[in-house]
Structure 1
Amino acid sequence: AVTRGVKPDYPSSARSRRVEGRVIVRMVVETSGQPGQCSIHSANPQGYFEEAALDAARRMRFRPGTKAGKAVRTLVLLPFDFNLR
């Protein structure tokens, strides 16, 4: 679960071209709740929003997954939608 969400900055190059899109960030949520090993799983369109999504993902905090009552590292796919509305 997300305990501190971060809204990504809308890149000015995308805003000026009126481009909207979606990026899915793949990350490991560490036992501390901090994101680790962030990478791009998919981006549509490519080349506009990837860095903004990665930056936001790295600043977020999570409640780590648990197994048998203990916190464990968890693979997460986190979507970021970029809409001008």
Structure 2
Amino acid sequence: MTQNQLLITIIIISSCFFIGCLIFNQGKMVLTLLGRGILGTLVIGIANTILAELGIWIPVGVNLLNFTVAALLGIPGIAALYGIGLWQIFH
């Protein structure tokens, strides 16, 4: 499976989840996930800024995949992203 096929698969699954949530939960879960994703993305951006000021570079970017991880897993997901980033540096 190429990277583009994986991205399309993720988009299709996310779209189905979004539509299902709108139909069955009147959007409450969708709004919660969007809020968590936005907050998680802000945390990643702030953490990257603080770490850059300290001279530490960990490869965790602000993108759709990290937004999704932050939305679904919250703080543990963000910690896992930084853990994977540290593992990439030292491996």
> Same fold judged by TM-score > 0.5?
no
Who wins on radius of gyration, i.e. which is larger? 2
TM-score by structure 2 length?
Answer: 0.28
Name the structure with the higher strand share.
Answer: 1
Instruction: Name which structure has the greater RCO, CA cutoff 8 Å, separation 6+.
Output: 1
User: Taking structure 1 as the reference length, what is the TM-score of the superposition?
Assistant: 0.29
Q: By percentage of residues, which structure has more helix?
A: 2
